[in-house]
Structure 1
Amino acid sequence: MSRVLLIGAGEVGGKHLAALVGAPGLTVCGVADPAPTAQMDENVPVFASWRSALTSLAPDLVVVATPPGTALTVAREAARATAAVLVEKPATTDLAALAPDPCDRQIFVGFQPHFAPGLAALLAQPPAVGSAEVRLAVRRDPHYYRGWRRSRATAGGVLHQQAIHGLALVLRLMPGDVDAVDATVVHRRALAETEDHVTAVITLADGPTVHIDARVDHPGRPFHKVVLHLTDGRRLQVRGRNLEAGLGESTTAPSDSDLRRAMYAAVLGTATGQPPHPCLYPLTALPRPLEVIDRVYRDARVVRTAYSTRP
């Protein structure tokens, strides 16, 4: 039985707890959070200090679900103390902080939708992609924008928090430097520093393009999908509320907990010497999507309009 320490027991930590409870071969040996809000089993010890928890428990897997301002520091210290670490996206928005560290090979970023049906084969042998679309439409209201999420600079942006699952997937399949960015960022509701809608066309070296349309003021049914236009004329679509259907049918999509459990098992596998699962997202790959996101926000036209309920 592998012992798991969860660091951070807020909204995101609660989702991890729900997935960890009852996961085959896993037991939650402790939770570290000075003020946990997630519902927990009374038999699981709670530590106010994550450093104390690491020392006391010696877990096999550490799941880091703290805000981006602290997540990278916590993940790296955990990696120096244990075998395997999973950190919630985006881990950090400070590209300078991602200067290589020897412990980074033990850290993976939590993109559970990348474990959706069909994506393992796609990532193991990436096809040639001529263009890709990342589309996201969800509703995030005032209660969501509290604390660190109020500022894009601390990872509250639509691309950092919402569309990064699809964008990171696309950029794994499409190598090359960014040649040009044509982007617009729209603010309508003034709920926080962060925006309501981002559109962008990213042109990579030698011509492939990534088209982004991501919004958090959508009044309809939420979705997040990726469309891949292959150079051989084929079209692949990754579907779902959050890509969870993968290349399969939405009606048979695995649950969020199932995807997270597959991710935990894959991270633990690396600690026993298994080759990294193709769906795992190494921390060392994170600078590229963050560089693209920074470029989009840096170069974008900023539009501020009166609030409208129209999509």
Structure 2
Amino acid sequence: MIRFDNRAAFAAALADLPVPDTSAIAAAAERQAALTKPAGSLGRLEEIALFMAGWQGRDRPEAQRLRAAIFAGNHGVAARGVSAFPAEVTVQMVANFRHGGAAINALAAACGAELAVVPLDLERPTDDICTEAAMSETECLAAINAGAAAVEPGLDLLLLGEMGIANSTPAAALCAQSFGGAADHWVGRGTGVDGHGLARKAQAVTLALALHGPHCGDAFETLRRLSGREIAALAGAVLAARMLRVPVMLDGFIGCAAVAPLAKDNPALTGHCLAAHMSAEAGHERLLRALALDPLLRLDMRLGEGSGAAVATQIVRSALAAHANMATFAEAAVAGAL
């Protein structure tokens, strides 16, 4: 299991990222070229197979050990009326996850992923990012390590999701701090706030950036000041997965925002990540462009919970099934291209 003993260890890991296995990619590409189909005719399915081969280190990658890790946290900024739901809904939804009644329960089962739900000090919201840093250094490191602990060697794919009332506000702050732009370029309606709620979100992000922006010198400090426990956990899970060469399926706006500070420090960070979908949240398309990620789906989803990641995992399973199970031209006695 990966653990970051201090912020320096976190920064060192981010600076020295493993790369995919090029020999496995080459072997998978050789197999692709021999399958009974015109070259490139399966489009992105072929790209996904090569991507997975590189991170799993085998020419026939698998989708057997799938884990959906969902992190939950509460936010002090919720008291500013930036969400359409009260903060207690986070606790209630975690109970729903554990009783099997949420969308992610159904969707994780449908794609064959085990579900791990990780609540993070729900009774103790982070501090309001408009007036204080969200977390102390100790608290941020604990959240990052909670995310890292959800990653095991040998997972074929890690699906990530979150639950946290008001967390689209710190997510917008992370994006603005990492990639620039005014608050209103990044805030969206989240759980369905009205125009007044949207204005409150933009104001909260503006206040947070003015207070913390000059002090956000690296990814860790940006997460500590502007994020939340579940968001920091997502960042920790993504970095730990990279260290273990586990490919990651990111979900929507919150999940992608969690890696924004890391990608600012090292743009190669997203090299082991797939973007499940482009959500209906206003800033998500801009964020995906900044992260150089091309979403697999566009379904106007905006639920969170890892729901989009679970749906997109079905595409990965299809890509790997075709790659592994199709016959080659030689096996099928079909004349190949000359």
Higher relative contact order (CA 8 A, sep 6+): 2
Shared fold (TM-score, shorter chain, > 0.5) = no
Q: TM-score range by the shorter chain?
A: under 0.3
Per the normalisation by structure 2, the TM-score is 0.24
Higher-strand-fraction structure: 1
Per the normalisation by structure 1, the TM-score is 0.26
Structure 1 or 2, whichever has the larger Rg, is 2
Higher-helix-fraction structure: 2
